[in-house]
Chains A and B, each alone.
Chain A
Amino acid sequence: MTNGVNKTFLEKMQAIDRRVIFLFIGLAVALPLLFHVVFTEKITPIVGAIYDRVENLPEGSKVLISFDYSPSTVPEIQPMVDAVLRHCAARKVKIYIMGLWATGQNIADETISRVLKPEFPAYQYGEDYVNLGYKSGNQGLINVILTDLKKMYTTDVHGTAIDSIPMMAPIRNLRNFDLILSFGGGFPGMKEWVLFAGDPGRIPVAGGVTAVSAPQLYPYYPSQLLGLMGGIKGAAEYESEVIRHYSRFENSSHPGIDMMGPQAVAHIVIILFIVVGNVAYFLTRRREAEND
């Protein structure tokens, strides 16, 4: 091979058409999906902290789950919610569902119909779980319900008076909850729960966020944030831990674990492209220096 041919090849490596990269990424995701490539997940302390807290909750504890996301982040967030919901129901804790996002209400309805009702038929609405629905107000809403929940929530999502729902009887404000779990990735979300409920009310706050948002929340862990699931990796870790301890969930869907195979392969492809581009760049620069 002549020097000229090598130089052309190196130059090509530095200027790969973006469509070629898209094609490789597409294949890196599609092929593991088609051939069901799955890796084992080991839980990290930041996710394990949430699992341990839910696992150690006594039966009948009160857990508030806030659906603070929209369909655009469902692929990342929903696996976390499903896994946590299954875990909470398996622990027989009382689940209070609400949402700071208008879109969260529909997603909550869908989640209840898909996970809670078919998998936990003994779970009774109003006795074991309740859907309070969406309320506007963002952080202002949290600020109000920190001291008086019924000031904002006079009915549940179906219009039933709060006072006629048995499991709402012991709830006066956010301080009555044993754990607050927020799932989302934008404003309002986990950060607002930490700032307006967790810190001022000394209430344990945890949950899951999109991978993009996770780095902003790490500084709150562990003092202000009990635990954090960051992106699909966090979801996969939680799912695997739930399956490890509760064999009955082995046949339940676990999209987090399923998505980590394509995720890993796609990352390897990206790393290879970065390495190839950089090696080509430095070799070209060295040859140019030699020629000069």
Chain B
Amino acid sequence: MWMDHPGWVLFGTWVAALFTLGIATFLYKDNPVYKFCEAVFVGISAGYWFVSYFWQTLLPKLGYPFYAGVKTVFVGPAEWGWLVLLIPGTLGMMMLLRLVPKAGWIARWPLAFIVGYTAGLRLITFLQSNAMTQLQNSVQPVVRYNESGQFLGWESFNILLVTVGTFAGLFYFFFSQEHKGVFGRVARVGTWFLMITFGAAFGYTVMGRMSLLIGRLDFLLADWLHLIR
């Protein structure tokens, strides 16, 4: 393919490197170069998703079957199953009416359909997986033994920690009673567990962001400047 030509690969690498540096200039302060790179990125992303959904969803799911269905009516033997496609097609057109200020309210109908469908689909699985199964997983024997009857200290400690954390956390979110006395102290323990959880989540977030930075610097140092590998 023409894109695999070394000249195009080199051109692509330079464009990617310059845009990476352009975005990184924001670390110093907001500037026109950053704004330009940001606008290009947003535009290309929106264009990519539009084209992607058009070719991978709209045409195979609606366009081609609709065309094939209509064709059968004229060429025969006539099939009428395609008529059902008029429903999603119409709902899609109604959604686009958001772009027309006076008819924007019509878009609420397909939105209501999406919300209702999603809520219905997720309700049962959420109840089953996030409520019942999670509850079942939380209620475990605190003292654990292995198959030969040996006490498993570390596993028992972990289960105890989960049990205490779950109860204390639930106490913290119980607002019908004032957080005073024993109730208040347990709720305070719940706060500690929550803080540790937030800290761990933040630590993970830092690791994730660092990975992206490493990925970009690796690209600049290896693929662009050839300083490593």
In the assembled complex, A147 has its CB within 8 A of some CB on chain B:
no
Residues of chain A from 98 to 134 with CB closer than 8 A to chain B in the complex: 102-103, 105, 134
Given contacts A36-B228, A211-B204, A223-B133, contact A102 B211 (CB under 8 A): no
Q: In the complex, which residues of chain A have a beta carbon less than 8 angstroms from the beta carbon of B221? A: 30, 33-34
Q: Are B214 and A211 in touch, CB under 8 angstroms?
A: no
Q: Are A75 and B217 in touch, CB under 8 angstroms?
A: no
Q: In the complex, which residues of chain B have a beta carbon less than 8 angstroms from the beta carbon of A219? A: 134, 137
In the assembled complex, B157 has its CB within 8 A of some CB on chain A:
no
Of B56, B117, B125, B213, the contact of A105 (CB 8 Å cutoff): B56
Q: Chain B 187-207, CB within 8 Å of chain A: the 1/0 string?
A: 000000000010011001111
Given contacts A29-B213, A33-B221, A103-B52, contact A22 B27 (CB under 8 A): yes
Closest to A35 in B: B228
Residues of chain B from 44 to 90 with CB closer than 8 A to chain A in the complex: 48-49, 52-53, 56-57, 61
Q: Are A143 and B200 in touch, CB under 8 angstroms?
A: no
Closest to A32 in B: B214
**Assembly CA distance A215 to B208 (angstroms):** 12
Residues of chain A from 168 to 222 with CB closer than 8 A to chain B in the complex: 194-196, 199-200, 210-212, 214-215, 219-220
Q: In the complex, which residues of chain A have a beta carbon less than 8 angstroms from the beta carbon of B217? A: 26, 29-30, 33, 262
Q: Are A231 and B57 in touch, CB under 8 angstroms?
A: no
Closest to A259 in B: B214
In the assembled complex, A42 has its CB within 8 A of some CB on chain B:
no
Q: In the complex, which residues of chain B have a beta carbon less than 8 angstroms from the beta carbon of A211? A: 204-205, 207-208, 211
Q: In the complex, which residues of chain B have a beta carbon less than 8 angstroms from the beta carbon of A233? A: 207
Q: Are A136 and B61 in touch, CB under 8 angstroms?
A: yes
**Assembly CA distance A212 to B201 (angstroms):** 7
In the assembled complex, B31 has its CB within 8 A of some CB on chain A:
no
Which label, helix, strand, loop or mixed, suits the secondary structure of the B interface? helix
In the assembled complex, A267 has its CB within 8 A of some CB on chain B:
yes
- Min CB gap A272→B, angstroms: 14
- Min CB gap B95→A, angstroms: 15
Residues of chain B from 166 to 201 with CB closer than 8 A to chain A in the complex: 197, 200-201
Q: Are A75 and B56 in touch, CB under 8 angstroms?
A: no
Given contacts A34-B227, A219-B134, A223-B133, contact A199 B210 (CB under 8 A): no
Q: Are A223 and B125 in touch, CB under 8 angstroms?
A: no
Closest to B58 in A: A136
Q: In the complex, which residues of chain A have a beta carbon less than 8 angstroms from the beta carbon of B130? A: 195
Q: Are B208 and A231 in touch, CB under 8 angstroms?
A: yes
Q: In the complex, which residues of chain A have a beta carbon less than 8 angstroms from the beta carbon of B117? A: 140
Q: Are A231 and B61 in touch, CB under 8 angstroms?
A: no
Q: Are B207 and A195 in touch, CB under 8 angstroms?
A: no
Can you spell out 8 A-B residue pairs with CB atoms less than 8 angstroms apart? A29-B213, A34-B221, A76-B208, A195-B125, A195-B130, A219-B137, A231-B207, A259-B214
Chain B interface residues (CB < 8 Å from chain A): 27-28, 48-49, 52-53, 56-57, 61, 117, 121-122, 125-126, 128-130, 133-134, 136-137, 197, 200-201, 204-208, 210-218, 221, 227-228
Chain A interface residues (CB < 8 Å from chain B): 19, 22, 25-26, 29-30, 33-34, 36, 72-76, 102-103, 105, 134, 136, 139-140, 143, 194-196, 199-200, 210-212, 214-215, 219-220, 223-224, 230-233, 255, 258-259, 262-263, 266-267, 270
The 9 closest A-B pairs by CB, nearest first: A75-B215, A211-B208, A136-B57, A211-B204, A215-B201, A102-B52, A211-B207, A195-B125, A232-B211
